[in-house]
Every structure is written in C-alpha cells, then in structure tokens.
Amino acid sequence: MTLSTLPTVKRFSHLIGGKAVSSAEYFRSHNSSKLSDVLGEFPIATLEQVREACLTAREAFKTWGKTPAPIRGEIIGQIGTALTREKENLSQLLSREMGKTLKEARGDVQEAIDTCHFFQSEGRRLYGQTVPSEMANKELKTYRRPLGVVGMVTAGNFPVAVPSWKIIPALVTGNTIVWKPSEDAPLTSYAFAKLLEEGGLPSGVLNVVFGMGGGSTGEHLVNMMDESLLGKFAFTGSTAVGRQIGAIAGRNLLHPTLELGGKNPLVVMRDADLENAVSGALWASFGTAGQRCTSAGNILLDAPIYDQFKAMFLERVKNIRIGNPLEFEDVLYGPFINERFLKTWLEHVEWGHADGATLLYGGAQVTAEHKPSGFQGDPAAGPYGWPTVWEAQKGMKIFQTEVFGPTINLVKVDGIQDALEVSNSVEYGLSSAIYTNNREWAYAFQEGIQAGMTSINNSTTGAEAHMPFGGVKGSGNGTRESGIWVLDGYTYWHGVNDDVSGKLQLAQMDTQYLEPRGEFKVSDL
C-alpha cells in the first residue's frame, strides 16, 4: 500500500480480521491548522464490534503465538521497510491532522522505524535460560511466552511513535492486538495500520476499532478485561483514566502498561551554561505546543541566576514563531490538536490567577485582534494558544497539575537540595532534567529525583527506541515502553522442569547435600 492509494471517499472503516467493518455512527477528523478541512469520517465501534474484534484476535493467537519468533521478527522488518518508504507521506499526513511541525512529524515516524529495526532482531533474541538443577539427571529451563490478546488505547499527540512502542513488541513476542487509536488522529492511525498489514501480518493479528473514550469504544475495550477476553492492556493517556484501567486490570489479575501524565521539572543551577539551558527550556516548554507528557511543567531556577535566566528566556519566548506548520517551515509550534484541547488549556489561566501566580507573558488564545508578533498566517483557521509564562510557587494548583499546552512556570529555588525537594513535591514522576556543570550536583539529582527518566544538560523531552520510557508515582505503574525492558510487559516466564532420571526426585528433600568434614579452629594451631 502507498498513501496515494488510500480511499478517496472520506468514510473509513474498522479493520477486524482483515475486513473493513462499518458502523451506524461516525465522527469526523479535521486538519488541526485548518478546521474547515475535513480529512475523513470514522466509525464508532459498538460493544458488540469490540467484542467481535477481541474474539477474532483470540482465534488468530492460536496460530500467531506459535509462529517462530524469528519469522515474526522478519515481518516486523518488513513493516519497517514500508514505513521507511512512506515516511515523508505519513509525516505530511500526521502534521496536517494533529498540527505538529514537519520536523517533529518526521521524528514521530522515524521513532516507529527505529522501533521496527530494534525489534526485528529481538525475534532472534527472545532468550530464556538453562538453569543448573540441584538434582542429578534433571534439566531446568525458562521460556518467554506471549500473554494472548492485548487491548490498546493510545493518545493523539504521537499517533505513530507511541502506538509502535506497544504494537511492535507485542507482535514480536507473539501476541495479537485490538487497538483503539485516538479519535484525535484517526486518519494517521488508519494509514499506520494499513502499513502494518502490508508488512505481512496474518488476518486477525491486528484489529483496529475507532471511536471515543469514556462511554464509547475505549470504555468497551477496557471492559473486555471483565469478560476475560484480554490477557493484557496497554494505555497511554491521563493519570485519572489510568487509575480506572488499573483498578479493572487489578481485579482481573492483569498487569497493565500505563504510560500516564507528567509535570516534569527542569532545573537550572547557578553554574549552568545559560544559553544552552534557555534553548533546552524553550523546546521542553513549547515543542508540540506543550502537548507532550514529557514537556517541562516547572522550570526550577537557582536563586543566583533567576533574574538573568528569566530575562533571557522571556526574550526568546516573545520571538517564538507560531503558525500552520505545513505553510511555514520555521515555526516552533502549530495549533492545538483540536478545540477541546484549547478549551481545557484556557482553564489553567483561571487557576493561575486564583492561586496568585504572576503572569509574565501570554495566557490567551491567539486571535486576529490579539496575536504574538511571531504568529504566521490566519489565527482563525485553527486553535492556537499564546506561549505562556508564569511565576509560580510550590503548592499552587498550576504548579502541581499537568496543563498539556504551551505553558511553563518559573519557580525560584536555593541550591541542589531545595531543587530536589521542590521537584519531588508533585504527584507525577515521568521525566526530569538538570542543567549544571557540577558533577556532584548532577549525581545528587539523578540519585534523588523521583522520575523514570532524567536528562543532564538536555531537555525533558526526547526518547530513543532502545531506552526504557515510563514513569513512577502518578506517571505510571512501573512498566516501561521501548528497549529490551518492554519485553517483560508482553510476556510471562514459563519455567520447565525436565527430569530424565526415570524416578521421582523431590527437590530439597532428596537432594544429596554434602556433610561438612569437621570443624577446624584456627585458634587450635
């Protein structure tokens, strides 16, 4: 499949068992930068259709789970080849649908390609172990086994990269999938799914059901755990919804993968290279219009450099270029993914004022009458927000709560220990960063921070396909995406006890432990 062969009709279907399946109700996807541009209509799956998808995946598991892992790996490699061929087309589509810049969109797709390259070889490296037994003529060994059908719900801010973190390792380990993509990027998700199919996946191994979250397709899929139709659930989204999924998984004795929100600290110490720190902070705060779970939430500034950093940072913020990324290549960020995100983001302005935070810049929707000097194009075409900077303090709602938009708080701290205490005072623990040239401070930070990921002299954002991604506290349940660590999320360990002695041997009871040869005391010499 090439993207040029996508149906010209703007109505798309679920993908269940290799067949196109329609529904009675549909929703529309729009170009984020030009809301009048309708990209397509997508079906909303019913409870019965979600159940059908799970049963289809269960049937496909009987064969896929027994397919040799190196063969599954080769299919992953073929998926990577298809994604590489379509990288530019898919990136253009992604940018058009959810609004991130083309540079970021290309990185989004490249992350999926890198994930395919990594896990293709894991098909030949799903190692178990042989373990020495305490009994003669007995062999112990372990195997990784797939969990079965995996239900997946993903977010729209990374509509290719994040699903690939779940789908690719789940496939290479022998699981089958029912995936509910974000309603915020359904066309990109559809194109990605068709490229996955092109790689050679048998029918029923990957099933895609479209729709909304609560009260709709997403909730139906979550409830399949209570019907014993899923062996695993993987979710990227808010902490509140993650807790609900975790509760349902818990009563079914499943261990879900939960990649949740963040309020990530970026610390700048008194000895830091301020030019580098300002550049890193600008990107961490406003890349993807702040719509990343790893975006910086609070910039913690060491007291001696607070005023200097603030002046440098605000100067850069006031010169940010914003606009439609498909029309203007030099913009730092584009629109919100949709108007719902803008509306939610605007609520935080009221929090800030109510808490007594000081608004230094921004804090409003971009309009024709009220727009930053760096805005390009027509602000009425899509939902845009001003880059927004607050002075805040520990404990404020705006300090504690994930905002998910182009907003950052400046917070004054005094020294490394104060920076750590303030950093750890939020409920989240996803990403973190520190700018310093003092190795003792850098070490103290990486040892003391409560986060799943830490950067030293770099941004809070950014992930590589061979490194673990995930958080602690309110940001996750200890599971990890990417790298070899994700394999534990999609497999269970099977221990095999192979006794060839021809008789019953009882560990611990029939073991021939050697008796000590007698006590020797050095004092007797």
Whether the predicted pLDDT of 463 surpasses 90: no
> pLDDT value at position 525?
85
Instruction: Give the E-state strand segments of 163-293 in sequence order.
Output: 176-180, 206-208, 232-236, 257-259, 264-268
Q: Is 116 one of the catalytic residues?
A: no
What distance, in Å, lies between the first and last C-alpha atoms of the chain?
A: 84
> pLDDT value at position 514?
78
> pLDDT value at position 76?
98
For the residues 390-418, what does the mean pLDDT come to? 97
User: In 3-state terms, what secondary structure has residue 461?
Assistant: coil
* Residue range 504-523, pLDDT digits in tens: 999 999 888 878 888 888 98
On average, the pLDDT of the chain sits at 96
**CA–CA separation, 166 vs 367, rounded Å?**
38
* Residue range 90-122, pLDDT digits in tens: 999 999 999 999 999 999 999 999 999 999 999
Q: List the domains of the chain with CATH numbers.
A: 15-260+479-492 (3.40.605.10), 264-468 (3.40.309.10)
Name the active-site residue from 104, 219, 259, 481.
259
**Chain centroid, CA 311 distance in Å:** 33
Q: Quick one: which of 167, 158, 313 has its CA closest to 237? A: 158
Q: Are 373 and 267 in contact (CB under 8 A)?
A: no
* Residue range 180-228, pLDDT digits in tens: 999 999 999 999 999 999 999 999 999 999 999 999 999 999 999 999 9
Whether the predicted pLDDT of 4 surpasses 60: no
Name the active-site residue from 54, 293, 402, 481.
293
> pLDDT value at position 6?
52
What's this model's pTM, rounded to 2 decimal places?
Answer: 0.94
Q: Is 259 one of the catalytic residues?
A: yes
Given pLDDT bands bounded at 50, 70 and 90, which one contains residue 337?
A: very high
The C-alpha angle 354, 359, 360, rounded to 5 degrees, equals 170
> pLDDT value at position 3?
59
For the residues 112-136, what does the mean pLDDT come to? 96
Q: Are 362 and 349 in contact (CB under 8 A)?
A: no
DSSP type of residue 385: B
User: Is the backbone of residue 279 left (phi > 0), alpha (psi -120 to 50) or beta?
Assistant: alpha
Whether the predicted pLDDT of 1 surpasses 80: no
β-strand partners of 410? 299, 391
DSSP type of residue 255: -
**CA–CA separation, 279 vs 377, rounded Å?**
25
